Amino acid sequence: MIISASTDYRQAAKRHIPPFLFHYADGGAYAEHTLRRNVEDLAGIALRQRVLKDMSSLSLETELFGEPMAMPVALAPVGLAGMYARRGEVQAARAAAGKGIPFTLSTVSVCPIDEVASAIDRPLWFQLYVLKDRGFMKHVLERAKAAGVKTLVFTVDMPVPGARYRDAHSGMSGKRAGLRRMLQAVTHPSWAWDVGLHGRPHDLGNVSDYRGQPTGLEDYIAWLGNNFDPAISWKDLEWIREFWDGPMIIKGILDPEDARDAVRFGADGIVVSNHGGRQLDGVPSTARALPAIADAVKGDLAILADSGVRNGLDVVRMIAMGADTVLLGRAYIYALATAGEAGVTHLLELFEKEMRVAMTLTGARSIAELGADSLVSGACSG
């Protein structure tokens, strides 16, 4: 039964990769209420059907910070994406570039910035976490600049990591995790052959580059655990604003007051996001949070949104509620885990088709025409 591309790729990924990796992507924080609501609330937003409006010409094209985009979609930063396929970040970035959209490389990627930047013919977006080790932050920002990165995505919703109990159950973290992962890897021989047991598969490229030594999964979990910075405030971001002359997007905004602070700070954009339900369980879904944030800051900066987007219809819903660009997280990871670059390309093609159908049937000929009018009134009051 085909439900949607990301649902099918999710099922396929579950078979294809070891359980610890599947659950690392699939899981969320605590009891995963927010994770589920992200998907359900978004799917529940009613689109307004319009007919007989000559929809023979329709364009998904848009731009952000002067960068052309074939559709208002970008791939979100996902840590360890390089473990889902061989040199996974390069494969995903190639698929994104091939479809004319940006790819965001996570701070904690397997492939280093230079490797991914040089594999594509459009500027790479880079995501940075706030870490206690400011030397590391400076180091990666310099590497990003040198690699031609213009757009910086600065993630602020992780001053502490959310408790992800699935990771402890699956062997991603906790007691004898290394041994449990190894056992799972050998029972997934095609993954182990392709990604897991050759070379330095779990080496975190950007971190290793800084430390001057290979950084495996165990080192990474310990390093990151000690490095989150609960003391962070807007003031701490000022040096980055001064250091970074390209567009700066603050990721992890869920409240209109914080969105206004981002405008006051001088951010070029925000990502309305609850980190895919991986941080504070119980916070609202982005489908519920977005309309009030758009009311507060639309026009003052670019609004990006993610969490729970599983098909092209969801992208249309997010745009209609006020987003300028929508980020895909798990949706592309499932496809990458199943079929690498070809899988992500296929997924993006399906998103594009689904967006076209949704726009045709809501009577919007361009991204600019998508708005509150494209929804049944009251559809986004939550």
Residues 6+ apart with CB under 8 A from 333: 13, 25, 78, 81, 84
The whole-angstrom separation of Cα 75 and Cα 78 is 9
Which is nearest to 122 in space by CA: 154, 148, 89, 144? 148
Residue 87 as a binder of ligand FNR (CB under 6 A): the answer is: no
Residue 177 as a binder of ligand FNR (CB under 6 A): the answer is: no
Distance of closest approach, residue 183 Cβ to ligand FNR, in angstroms: 21
Out of 4, 91, 127, 151, point to the residue binding ligand FNR (CB under 6 A).
Answer: 127
Residue 325 as a binder of ligand FNR (CB under 6 A): the answer is: no
Residue 151 as a binder of ligand FNR (CB under 6 A): the answer is: no
The token pair that represents 40 in the structure block: 């359900």
Out of 82, 88, 201, 308, point to the residue binding ligand FNR (CB under 6 A).
Answer: 308
DSSP β-ladder status, 62-64 and 67-69: antiparallel
CA distance to 57, 101, 164, 255, 324, per residue, from 62 (Å) = 15, 10, 36, 26, 9
CB-nearer residue toward ligand FNR: 155 or 184: 155
Half-sphere exposure of 39 (CA within 13 A, CB side): 15
Residue 162 as a binder of ligand FNR (CB under 6 A): the answer is: no
Residue 276 as a binder of ligand FNR (CB under 6 A): the answer is: yes
Residue 362 as a binder of ligand FNR (CB under 6 A): the answer is: no
User: Which class for 24: exposed (0-12), middle (13-18), buried (19 or more C-beta within 10 A)?
Assistant: buried
Query: Active-site residue 275, yes or no?
Result: yes
Residue 108 as a binder of ligand FNR (CB under 6 A): the answer is: yes
Distance of closest approach, residue 273 Cβ to ligand FNR, in angstroms: 5
Distance of closest approach, residue 328 Cβ to ligand FNR, in angstroms: 6
Q: Count Cβ atoms below 10 Å from residue 260 Cβ, excluding itself.
A: 15
Catalytic residue among 33, 198, 275, 346: 275
- The amino acid at residue 199 is G
Distance of closest approach, residue 28 Cβ to ligand FNR, in angstroms: 8
Distance of closest approach, residue 129 Cβ to ligand FNR, in angstroms: 7
Which is nearest to 373 in space by CA: 36, 53, 41, 39? 53
Residues taking part in catalysis:
275
By the criterion CB under 6 A, which residues form the site for ligand FNR?
A: 24-25, 38, 76-79, 106, 108, 127, 155, 251, 273, 275-276, 278, 306-309, 329-331
